[in-house]
Structure 1
Amino acid sequence: MTDTSQTAVSSSRVTFMLVFTTLLWGGSFVFNKLGFRDIPPVTFMFLRFALATLIMTVVCLPRLRRLDWRITWKGTVVGLALAATNLSFVLGLSGTTASRAGFLNNLFVLFIPLLCYLVWRERVDRWSFLGIVLALVGLWQLARGGVEGFSYGDFLSTVCALFIAIHIITVSKVLRDEDVYLISFVQFAVVALAGGAICLFMPSQPLRVGPLSAASLIYCAIFPTVICFTLQNRYQRYTTPTKAGLIYTLDPVWSMLGGMAVLGERLSGKEWVGCGFIFGAVALPMLIRRYREWRIGIDYRRA
């Protein structure tokens, strides 16, 4: 059933719940890295979304009778974009650190206006252009600071940011008033099917699921997948896109802290500078837009 609740949600609650989703997503970088120790990245993606699909099947049991061709088609379209996002995510993360991947993934905020300009000729404002310049400087510093320079994992993490932007744009252009639970169910199933198909054509790799990798798989299937999608669908509509985007810049902060605390990752001086430029590239345009919204009284909206 589509949620048509008209109940007001406080701005502080919306902010808290969206910050909480960034914490869960930031933790997924660490848990994916732990899971990759036993499970190949693409197999991990397949198992993660297969488990998430099973969970959503249980959640959606009362709704499945409303699953029609329109929801299936739209869910498939956004699901293919999500599959590309997650494939580049796991392959990128497996080839770089959680800290670097987190900041590189966050470049999606800059890819969105670029794609909108290329496809729909929507104007790129000067602050977005400044962010793009800062991001390029940050990427250059990362390339100079890493042991392997700008590795294939860094490249794929940047490609992942592009697919994140494509997924977000696809959701905004394709979806309207569909049941978000059924759409999530179809999306997860499409990603699981795509992952399974890729695994069939890949050379067989050793697979052993120990307690740590099993816990990582369960965490990634439940928290940054089922719960994060549900919370974002539930609360993001109560705030402005600018404020939500600003909150989402916390993702790489959590991934970096988790990588340092759990995985023992450390950044060189140039890597710190590069990550700082990339963070500023994303946060500065958002802060300026948020300030403008605040000046004219735009804060949050009702459902």
Structure 2
Amino acid sequence: MNRYKNEAALIFCTLIWGGTFSATKLSLVSISSCLFIGIRFAIATFVFVLYILLKNRKNPISYPDWKTNKSLYFLAFLLGFWMFMGFAFETVGLKYTTATKSGFLTGTLVVITPILQTLFLKRMPSSGNLLGVIVVMFGLFFLSAESVGEDHKLVISYHLGDVLTLGGAFFFSLYIIYVDKASKSCPLDILLLSQTLVTSVFAFLLAFILHWTEFEPLFIKMDSRVMPALFYNGLISSVGTTFLQTKYQKGISPTRAGLIFSLEPVFSAILAYFTLEERLDTTGLIGCSFVLTGVLLAELLGREKKF
């Protein structure tokens, strides 16, 4: 029963994340990408600080000593850093690609995660998960393909935004691996605060660096696009899903979590259809079907083996 509860929590997280692509895409015409990330996670950090203060006021908690638990705090910092890198690559890349394609390319983490899991955790994915990964790979192929010409030839095309988004998928895979590791040894409060605080601080620094290098000007226009996006991404997504993922993913293997997260591009495409009027062609719909089939196969078959 706990397994289904954990997986339901991650599916809900994935649905929320699917909506962030459209919300962020709409706001990026009024705010620079890394400044958006910085403010988004600053809001989340403020909420978590209040949560921890109120929690300790009612029932004081003693946290691990810094001097004797430096490795634990470093692990929490590293988790936040991988989160920052994932969002930085994904959000900057979103400026140069569609919300639908960004969601699907981020979904490649389902392919990357089992490889990193094998390297870092010495845990072999089950045959069911591997089969699911293969099917999802076919889905991502169709989702990244474009039909061109009178003969409707399928062509895979990647631009700057696509490459950056793939980089984000790699760092999100690292993040998933470290969530599995850190959540079993670090207190929940430390993990929640470290993730949002580290991401916010580094995002603000990167915003100034990109401005200084003239890659992306630093600007903000607090209009009807930015405010709702910051509310949705800062509170509902960053606070809600960070809490749920950190709390419930520890009961699920990284590969299995990655397969659940592969539903994110499906949700993002559906929401982008209604909010941005982005359309999927036949190949895109076929890709969605493969992704869903891959997740179902992984859910029905086997568990991981350690070696």
Q: Residues 51-66 of structure 1: matches in 2 within 5 Å?
A: 51-61=43-53, 62=56, 66=63
- Aligned CA distance change for structure 1 residues 173 and 257 (closer, same or farther; 3 Å): same
1:162 aligns with 2:175: no
Corresponding residue for residue 269 of structure 1: 282
- Aligned CA distance change for structure 1 residues 274 and 18 (closer, same or farther; 3 Å): closer
- Aligned partner (choices 192, 216, 220) of residue 233 of structure 2: 220
Q: Residues 90-239 of structure 1: matches in 2 within 5 Å?
A: 90-119=91-120, 122-123=123-124, 130=131, 133-134=134-135, 137-145=138-146, 149-203=157-211, 204-237=217-250
Where 1:84 maps in the other structure, the secondary structure is: helix
Distance 2:234 2:5 in 1: 25
- Aligned partner (choices 15, 27, 44) of residue 36 of structure 2: 44
* Contact 2:40 2:234 (C-alpha < 8 Å) held by counterparts: yes
* Contact 1:242 1:286 (C-alpha < 8 Å) held by counterparts: no
* Contact 1:142 1:150 (C-alpha < 8 Å) held by counterparts: no
Aligned AA for 2:110?
V
Distance 1:129 1:13 in 2: 23
1:286 aligns with 2:298: yes
- Aligned CA distance change for structure 1 residues 247 and 168 (closer, same or farther; 3 Å): closer
Question: Percent identical across equivalent pairs?
Answer: 27
The TM-score, its normalising length taken from structure 1, stands at 0.79
Q: Which runs of 5+ in 2 are unaligned?
A: 149-155, 212-216
The TM-score, its normalising length taken from structure 2, stands at 0.78
- Aligned partner (choices 27, 30, 54) of residue 19 of structure 2: 27
* Contact 1:137 1:277 (C-alpha < 8 Å) held by counterparts: yes
Aligned-residue CA RMSD (Å): 3.1
Deviation, structure 1 residue 287: 3.2
* Contact 2:136 2:295 (C-alpha < 8 Å) held by counterparts: no
Aligned AA for 2:175?
H
Per-residue CA deviation, residues 29-56 of structure 1 (Å, 9 max, x unaligned), is 1211122121111111111111111111
Corresponding residue for residue 151 of structure 2: none
* Contact 1:245 1:286 (C-alpha < 8 Å) held by counterparts: no
Aligned AA for 2:273?
M
Per-residue CA deviation, residues 73-131 of structure 1 (Å, 9 max, x unaligned), is 22211111111111111022222222222222122122122123345665466555555
- Aligned partner (choices 228, 252, 260) of residue 265 of structure 2: 252
Deviation, structure 1 residue 17: 3.5
Aligned AA for 1:18?
L
* Contact 1:60 1:182 (C-alpha < 8 Å) held by counterparts: no
* Contact 1:145 1:269 (C-alpha < 8 Å) held by counterparts: no
Deviation, structure 1 residue 184: 1.3
- Number of aligned pairs? 282
Deviation, structure 1 residue 146: 6.9
Q: Which one is further off, 253-262 or 71-80?
A: 71-80
Per-residue CA deviation, residues 107-161 of structure 1 (Å, 9 max, x unaligned), is 2122122123345665466555555554554454445417892222222222222
* Contact 1:45 1:86 (C-alpha < 8 Å) held by counterparts: yes
